[in-house]
Structure 1
């Protein structure tokens, strides 16, 4: 699981040691993601299945894509599809993916990169492996997180943020037992590169076997800890957790988690995708690729899509060479 890493974590800034007055968040719910298929048939885990929307707010949906090692000819993507009313945050841990939209945008993300798409008032979008990966096969592993937009921003113009893995803020623990990649938001004063409408924090944390992390967390945010790989515990009561499970936390100032001392050969460390944000607390009307506030707005989104108002499929595919977005 390469993502972005460093040879020696001890050169990184370190989290502060938390004092005895710290209020650690309890684990309120522990769920296991069901497996399924998305797009043209690539495997996913539905990380938020079974969790009420009010405990996810401001998030809507999270898929873990893979981890899968494709044989030649097997890599798959999605067909053209619409979005309106939210943001998609696609984090590529291992492998490579091209993306393109109906407004002339496009680019490539690979190990540790993030493609942050604000759908806003709407567009058509496609994600697919590049031709050379289809020919050769190879590893594919990532996540896609859907972040709700407040009512005031749902009809904003679409935009992209292409975040390179090296732009993430990298920090470690006081004993150097973990690598924390801050993709968006703030962790102990270290700011990630992602720009958000709703205040959120998104991190990818790798914890070495036997190590424990006490992670400061903004008290007004919710806290969701998803296991990408490995085994460990969450909470001060050390509840066991493993690959494909999500821990929904209650209120407090910090999160505590630890990696099991023994991991299997395929997962040498505990890898976590940790999310939190300030709840929007607005009505949510969600169906398929549209996330609005009311049923009437959903109906309007479908009508606009059918009328071609969200864009039309381009005649030619955008060439992907530098990983940067393109706009007319």
Structure 2
């Protein structure tokens, strides 16, 4: 896995939490991700939105892309399409995506890098594999997270953050058995590089076989763990959690999880997990495709604004690659 790695013995360590007196969070629910086709037809695994989106608030969607080994000509992406009312966070673990948008943001996202796009009042963008991957194929693995914006910020000016792999804050578990990459938010006083509107924490951890990862967690945040690969257990009760599953925690002020001693063949390095949570917005949600607002009328307005060209313009050099998104809305 090319996502940034380091010698955990040289990194700042998470605090050792006492077993007694710590309000460990229990497991509220286990969710199996479902499979969908997105963009030009690439497969994603999606643990949410599901039956109860309030469990994930302020997050709206999590798409797990790959891991997949593309052959020549097989790599696919998401051509030009609009967004309004939230943020998209694309984290690439293996392979690469090229991002372009209507405000001039963009670049190559690869091997541990993150692109953070605030759609806000409206933006057009595309995410496509680079030409060499289309021509030659190769390994691709990534995640896209949608983060909601509160009503007061739905129409904020769009912005783009290019977060390089080297920018992530690297930490070690208390015993050195896990590497934690802080992409956004704060963990035990250590800040990630992502600048957020909605208060969240977003981490990628590699937990060595048999090792434990424990961490403090804000009591007013929800908390979830999604498994990218491998298997382990979460909470003190040791509920099993494996690739493609999301564990939702209940209340408390600390999280604990442990990688299984025996990992599947493709997970020899350990249990690969995302740990994420945030402060719930607790506002009505109205959504249609690429738009997430508070009311149906705001969705109708977003569609009208998109069709009238008020969400931005595709740069002239990219017009030949325009998607059919406007024909579908």
TM-score (norm 2): 0.94
1:307 is aligned to: 308
1:223, 1:274 within 8 Å by CA — same for their partners in 2?
A: yes
Contact 1:33 1:49 in 2 (8 A): no
Deviation string for 1:191-222 (max 9, x for gaps)? 10011111100000110000111111111100
User: What is the alpha-carbon distance in structure 1 between the residues aligned to residue 182 and residue 100 of structure 2?
Assistant: 26
Question: Equivalents in 1 of 2:215, 2:64: separation in Å?
Answer: 23
Q: How many equivalent pairs are there?
A: 317
RMSD of aligned alpha carbons: 1.1
SS at match of 2:181: strand
Give the whole-Å Cα distance in 1 for the aligned partners of 2:186 and 2:105: 28
Structure 1 counterpart of 2:102: 102
Indicate the SS of the match to 2:266: coil
What is the rounded CA distance, in whole Å, between the counterparts of 1:264 and 1:53 in structure 2? Answer: 31
Question: Helix, strand or coil for the counterpart of 1:108?
Answer: strand
**1:34–1:49: 8 Å Cα contact kept in structure 2?**
no
SS in 2 for 1:241: strand
Instruction: Check conservation: 2:106, 2:160, Cα contact below 8 A.
Output: no
Alignment match, 2:10: 11
Alpha carbons 2:49, 2:60 under 8 Å: kept: no
Match of 1:34 in 2: 34
Q: 2:297 is matched with which residue?
A: 296
Query: What is the deviation of 1:279?
Result: 0.7
C-alpha distance after superposition, 1:86-122 (max 9, x if no partner)? 0000001111110111233221110000000000000
Unaligned runs of 5+ in 1: 319-328
- Counterpart position of 1:174: 174
C-alpha displacement of 1:49:
4.5
Q: 1:173-199 CA deviation, whole Å, 9 max, x = no partner?
A: 121110000000111111100111111
Describe the shift of the 1:51–1:14 C-alpha distance in structure 2 as closer, same or farther (beyond 3 A): farther
Give the equivalent residue in structure 2 for 1:321. Answer: none
Q: CA deviation at 1:51?
A: 4.3
Q: Which runs of 4+ in 1 moved over 6 A?
A: none
1:11-160 alignment to 2 at 5 Å? 11-19=10-18, 20-160=20-160
Gaps of 5+ in 2: 320-329
Task: For residue 266 of structure 1, give the secondary structure of its aligned residue in structure 2.
Answer: helix
Counterparts of 1:78 and 1:276, CA distance in 2: 26
Partner residue of 1:285?
286
